[in-house]
Every structure is written in structure tokens, then in C-alpha cells.
A and B are shown apart, each in its own frame.
Chain A
Amino acid sequence: MSSISSKRLAKELKEFHSLNLVGVTLLKADDFKQWLVGIEVMGESLFQNEVFALRFTFDSQYPISSPEVVFIDDGVHHIPPHPHVYSNGHICASILGQEWSPVLSVASVCITLQSMLASCKAKERPPDNDRYVRNAPLSPKNTRFHYDDDTV
């Protein structure tokens, strides 16, 4: 792992603790390869009082290349039923793909996803869920999503 990504993640980790984001908790961050983050939607929403787990996987090119971010189902947490979240945990969000910018960070991704969940109007899977999940690559970074919804 290159020093840039380690350095940057070390800094992010430090800031993460000092930020004390509401509803975002670091579950596991032992190394600079994979982090687990718990997110909870605050305020009134369809997902009130539910905690979900996000898995961030960083490659050596981080932050130039985007992290791989998926919801995970580990028994305790489950994958939120949301029109932009596939049942395998893959998330269709432009900032994780095409619109990733190196200035974004783990914290900003969490906040964006938090608001994505908060604005959810119906607990349902994407319309092409079955087809996608059947053929999905292991990492969502290998999927070319078509971002069609600008409202969230």
C-alpha cells in the first residue's frame, strides 16, 4: 500500500474521531485496506432506528481512485431496501463512480449515503435488482451504472 493512501487514511481516521458525526460510527478500522462503518439515519425517515454497515475497501490509488463501498449483511446488520441499493449491497451512487473526486472522503461518502437513505420514499429494491444481482461483478467498481435519478 502506497504511502499516500496510508497517510491520507491516517489523517481521515484522526479527523473522523474529532468530527463526531451524528449517526456515523466507525466499527472497524484496523488497517488502511478495509473499514467498516455503521450508519444510522437520524430524524424522521423510513429507516428510523435501523443501523446499517458499510464496507469501504481502499486500493493503493486511493484517494485518486474511488473506494469500493458496499452495504454488508453480517447477521447483525442488513442491507437496506432502497431503490438505489441492490440486494447484494451494491450501491448505485454517482459519487462512488464517475463523479468520485479525490477531495471526497469516507466521512463525506457516509453523509451522502445517509442522506440518500433519509430521502427514501419507498422501501423497495431497484427495478432491475434480480437481473443485476445475478450478473453482478464482485466489486461494484466494475459495474458501469447509469445514473438516472438526480433527486437524491
Chain B
Amino acid sequence: MSLSDEEYDNENQGLFFGDEEDDSYNKDLEGEEDNLIVVADKEDESETSRMFKTLSSDDLEEEIRREVNDVMSVLELEYDVASILLRHFRWNKERLLEDYMDSPDKVLYESGGGRPSNNNFSSQSSVSEEPPTKKTRTVKASRSGPLTAIRSSLRLNAKTKKSKASIPQEIVGNTSPSTTTCEICCDTPSDPSSMMYHPRCGHTFCKSCWRDYTRGKVEDDRIINVACMQESCKTVLLENELKELLDENIFARYGQFIQDSYVLHDKSLKFCLYPACSHALRTKHQVNQTSILTVVPIATCTASTTPPSHTFCFNCETRGDHRPLICALATKWTNHVNEDAGSVSWIIANTKVCPKCQKPVEKNGGCRSDLEIKDASDKVSRSRADLEKWLFYYDRYMNHEKSIKLENQLVERIEEQITSLVNTSQMSWIEARFLQHAVDVLMKCRETLKVYVKKQHRLMLKDVGEGFKEGRWKFLVSVS
């Protein structure tokens, strides 16, 4: 129920007294209430803008284009192919260049970026995957019909294998060399030249099947390297091929998915956490396991100029500012609150504290703990005290949380208030903005108080002198 001291023993105990933020906390302890607001002052804001760069969707696109152009010029490839390779290597340029230098054919084959002529690189098991040249295409297409599944790797005995190998011609039904029937929907379009389609690998199917297939891959599966429909053909469709097949709005989303994958695979990039904000932020912080023990990378997306500001923690991806708590502790608190929320609210709603033993007792019964009191060891009474304290902090935290929710409603109403104020009084619209400002400040204070409660709880658990701890506890109880 309550956090035990042992739980924190594993953590670096000196963390909070090492940097300047903690100095302000030491002052708090001396009762200087003015110092309670330690979050985000001016200096912090300039620091934030120095360490984070907000990138719009266009900036991202530009950046991706630069990366691809880079690879394109180094490896002397076409733009689309370079793009496929980069996506295949999850935007890891170094590894791509290294592998490509080692064996370009293999990289091109495996990533599906190769031109048909490059696809010849294959192991002996994929003989049937050889990209057909124009002349043999139709025949190949029919041979590599449904039964290509019988690959040479399958251990069929020679006899059955032979009998199977003769089947595909019939199963596909494309006995005539000119493929006019789509193998997938079994339709025979009246005008094959405009209704059949094949990407550069030459596997021909009807356009509507290609459309369905690419839409499913892009929209539902969010795959950015869409391979050819032919079984075991690795050729990835080029962007202009997709553009031809996809509806305009889906193709636009495809561009978005490419950006998503670019951001996902770059550790120094992250999308703004706020809904409907499509900006990404690049940090100069070294966000790694050791650095986050001393640095709290709070980022503010500059895309939003009106409140609420898009502030979030770059590392633990929580909205708002949880300084001075480091991510590990902030997450611990959140988990603890989430875990306990149910049981604690039940305790608050259904129990009373027994006047004798201070234990929460269900309201519908009396205290039956006479015996227990006798047996109560120090440990029991300590955990009881811990529970009481945890409830104390939890209660305050939840109150702030609830207030924030209510104030969010207030934000929505404030615009009306301002309008009515302008209409009924002599005040100008700009003057009436003070209301808006007041709400902003209120919200900020709430956020700060929330963090303050967490921090106080943390300090309560910390290994400070018992007397000091008690004194602070009494002080807190008396001020609240």
C-alpha cells in the first residue's frame, strides 16, 4: 500500500542534492514558501529553446529528402531506390553504406529496392523468383502462380514434386501466353492495356487488385515498403508507382507514415505529445539511461502559441512538467497512484479510522482489533503510519488533479466571459485578457503544486533524520 523505504534504497540517494534545483528544495524545507514554485522560470525557458528544436511536417520532409539525397549521391542510385534502402535500414545511414559497400547486390535484393536486373541476386532456393524479362514475363507469371509455395526448400520426395511441378499451368488457367486474366480476382478485363498493371518487376495483375492491395498495406498495416503481390517477389513499389495506385488522401498519409518511421527510428526526435499537433522536436540532450538520472528533458513545442503550451517530458513521455522530480521517480509516483487509485478510493469511501488504533475500519462494523493491538509489532504500526501519510499525499494530489480537470472546463468558458465582459463594460478586449492570463497562471500553479506534493512525498520517504521528518510532517499537516 505505501512505498517502503527499502524500495528507494536501490536508487541514487544523493540525486536531489546535487544540482541547483535541489537547492531550492532545501530552502523549501526551511519553510520559505515563496520558493515552492521552482519550475520553469525564464532561464529554463531559454534553456528549453536552446536544447530543443521544433520541426514542422515540412521541415521533416526536407530533412528526409536531404538524407535520401545524401545516400543517393554517395551510392550513385536513383532517388526512389535510395529512399527504399534507407527505409529498409530504418534510416540507419551508416549501416546502409557499410553493407552496401560490402555487397551492393545483396542489399538491393533484400531491401527490394533493386531494379529487376539487380534482383538476380538470390539463393538457389529462389530460382523461380527470377525477375522475368519482358519477353518471358507472361509465361513466368503463370508459372509462379499459386503453387510457387512448393519451393525447392520443401522436402517433398522427388516423385510428388515432379507431379506438382506440372500443375501450375493449369491451376492459374493462363494457358495463353498473353496474360489478360488477373490471377487474383480472376477477372478478364476488356481493355488489358489500361486495366492491367505491373510495377517494375513485371508481375502483372489487374489494377483494381493492385489498388485494394496497396491500400490495405498502407492504410491498415502501415507498411512503408510495400512489396509486389507476387509470392516471394521482394520488389518494393516505388513512390511514383504507389502514387498511381493510391487515392490522393491515402498517398498523403503514406508520406506521413514515412515521416513517422523516420521520427520513430531517430532517438533524438519525437513527435509532440499533444493531440492534433504534427510537429516533431529534436533534442540536443543526450537522452540515455545515465543522463536521465540527472537531467529532466522537458520540451516545449513552439508550434502552439496559445495556452495550453505543448510541454512534455522528452524521456518519459508524460505531458506537463514534472521537474524537479527525475523521470524514474515521476513514473514511480504515477504508477503508484494508478495502482492504488482503486483501493485508496475504496478505503476513503468505506472506512473510518478507529479512534483507538488509528486503523481504517469498515464503517459497517466495529473495531475488532483489541487482540491485534496487543500483537502489533513496530512494523505494523509503522506501515500504518506510512499508509496514513501516503493517503495524505494522495488526497492532496488527487485534489489538484480534479481541480485541473475543472479548470480545463473553465478555460473553455473563459472566452465567453471575456466577450460578455467586453460587451457589458467599457473594457477593451485586450484589457479583458487578464481573465485568460489569470486562468493560465492558475493552471501553472496547479501543475507546480502537483509536483510539489510528489516531491514532498519523496522527501518524506528519504532517509533524513527521524525527528526532522516528523517535524516536517506536523508542519505539513498544520498548513494544509
> Which A positions have Cβ atoms within 8 angstroms of B?
4, 7-8, 11, 15, 18-19, 22, 42-43, 61, 63-65, 95, 99, 101-105, 107-109, 111-112, 115, 118-119, 150-151
CA distance A109 to B148 in the complex (A): 10
What residues of chain B lie closer than 8 Å to A111, measured between beta carbons? 147, 149-150, 154, 164
User: Judging by beta carbons under 8 Å apart, are B155 and A65 in contact?
Assistant: no
Q: Is the CB of A101 within 8 A of B229?
A: yes
| Residue with the highest number of chain B CB atoms closer than 10 Å, among A42, A102, A108, A118 | A102
Q: Are A103 and B183 in contact (CB under 8 A)?
A: yes
Question: What number of A-B contacts does a CB cutoff of 8 Å give?
Answer: 90
CB contacts (< 8 Å) of A102 on chain B: these are 184, 205, 209, 213, 229
Q: Which residues of A contact B212 (CB under 8 A)?
A: 61, 64
In the complex, what residues of B have CB within 8 A of residue A4's CB? 185, 187, 209
Contact of A105 among B146, B170, B185, B233 (CB under 8 A): B146
Check if B29 is an interface residue, CB within 8 A of chain A. no
Does B171 touch A at the CB level, under 8 Å?
Answer: yes
Q: Roughly how many angstroms separate A8 CA and B230 CA in the complex, as a whole number?
A: 16
Complex contact B185–A95 (CB within 8 A): no
Residues of B within 8 A of A101 (CB): 229-233
Cβ-based interface call for B163 (8 A): yes
Tell me whether B156 and A105 are in contact (CB under 8 A).
no
Q: Please tell me if the beta carbons of B155 and A107 are within 8 angstroms of each other in the complex.
A: no
- Find out whether the CB atom of B150 lies under 8 angstroms from the CB atom of A115: yes
Residue pair A112, B185 in contact (C-beta under 8 Å): no
- Residues of B108-153 at the interface with A, using a CB-CB cut-off of 8 Å, are 144-150, 153
Decide if A108 touches B146 in the complex (CB within 8 Å): yes
Contacts of B409 in A (CB 8 A): none
Tell whether A22 pairs with B229 under 8 Å between CB atoms, given A104-B146, A112-B154.
no
Whether B376 is near chain A, meaning CB under 8 Å from some CB there, is no
Q: Is the CB of A11 within 8 A of B229?
A: no
Which of A99, A109, A115 has the largest count of B CB atoms less than 10 A from its CB? Answer: A115
When the two chains form their complex, are residues A64 and B150 in contact, meaning their CB atoms are under 8 A apart? Answer: no
**Given A19, A22, A63, A103, which contacts B148 in the complex, CB threshold below 8 Å?**
A103
Contacts of B424 in A (CB 8 A): none
For A107, the chain B residues whose CB sits under 8 A away are 146-147, 171
| B157 interface contact, C-beta 8 A | yes
Q: Which residues of A contact B167 (CB under 8 A)?
A: 19
Contact of B150 with A11 in the complex, beta carbons under 8 Å = no
Name the distance in Å between B165's Cβ and chain A's nearest Cβ.
Answer: 12
- Point out the residues of chain B lying under 8 angstroms from A8, CB to CB: 184-186
Q: Are A95 and B163 in contact (CB under 8 A)?
A: no
Q: Which residues of A sit under 8 angstroms from B170, Cβ to Cβ?
A: 15, 18-19
16 contacts between A and B (CB under 8 A): A4-B185, A11-B186, A18-B170, A19-B170, A22-B160, A22-B163, A42-B160, A61-B216, A63-B184, A101-B229, A102-B184, A104-B146, A104-B149, A108-B147, A109-B149, A111-B147
Check if B173 is an interface residue, CB within 8 A of chain A: yes
Assembly CA distance A119 to B232 (angstroms) = 21
Residue of A nearest to B221 (CB): A98
A8 and B183 alpha carbons, distance in the complex (Å): 9
Residues of chain B from 229 to 272 with CB closer than 8 A to chain A in the complex:
229-233
Question: Are A115 and B146 in contact, with the CB atoms below 8 A?
Answer: no
Give A102 to B155 CA distance when docked, in angstroms: 24
Q: Which residues of A contact B149 (CB under 8 A)?
A: 95, 104, 108-109, 111-112
Which chain B residues border A15 with CB–CB below 8 Å?
A: 170-171, 173
Do the beta carbons of A115 and B173 come within 8 Å of each other? no
Cα distance A142–B361 in the bound complex, in angstroms: 46
In the bound complex, how far is the Cα of B149 from the Cα of A111, in angstroms? Answer: 7
Give A141 to B97 CA distance when docked, in angstroms.
36
**A contact residues around B205 at 8 Å (CB):** 102
Q: A19 to B183, alpha carbons, bound, how many Å? A: 17
A81 CB → nearest B CB, Å: 19
Give the chain A neighbours of B229 by CB distance below 8 A.
Answer: 101-103
Do the beta carbons of B184 and A104 come within 8 Å of each other? no
Bound: A108/B213 CA distance, A? 20
Chain A residue nearest to B141 (CB atoms) is A103
Contact call B150/A119, Cβ cutoff below 8 A: no
- Closest chain B CB from A106 CB (angstroms): 9
A99 to B229 CA separation, bound complex (whole angstroms): 10
Distance, CA A111 to CA B157, complexed state (A):
13
Interface centre among A7, A99, A111, A112 (most CB of B within 10 A): A111
**In whole angstroms, what is the CA distance A106 to B83 when docked?**
36
Instruction: Return the contact of B156 from the options A19, A65, A104, A118 (Cβ within 8 A).
Output: A118
User: Is B155 within 8 A of A115, CB to CB?
Assistant: yes
Task: Write the chain A residue with the least CB distance to B230.
Answer: A103
A64 to B184, Cβ gap below 8 A?
yes
Residues of B near A7 (CB, < 8 A) are 185-187
Distance of B197 from chain A, by nearest CB (Å): 13
For the complex of A and B, 3 pairs with smallest distance between CB atoms: A101-B231, A105-B146, A115-B154
Q: Which residue from A42, A105, A119 sits with its C-beta under 8 Å from B171? A: A105
A88 to B177, CA, bound (A): 44
Q: How far is the CA of A115 from the CA of B157 in the complex (A)?
A: 10
What distance in Å separates the Cβ of B188 from its nearest Cβ neighbour in chain A?
11
Kindly identify, within residues 83 to 100 of chain B, every residue whose CB is under 8 Å from any CB belonging to chain A. none
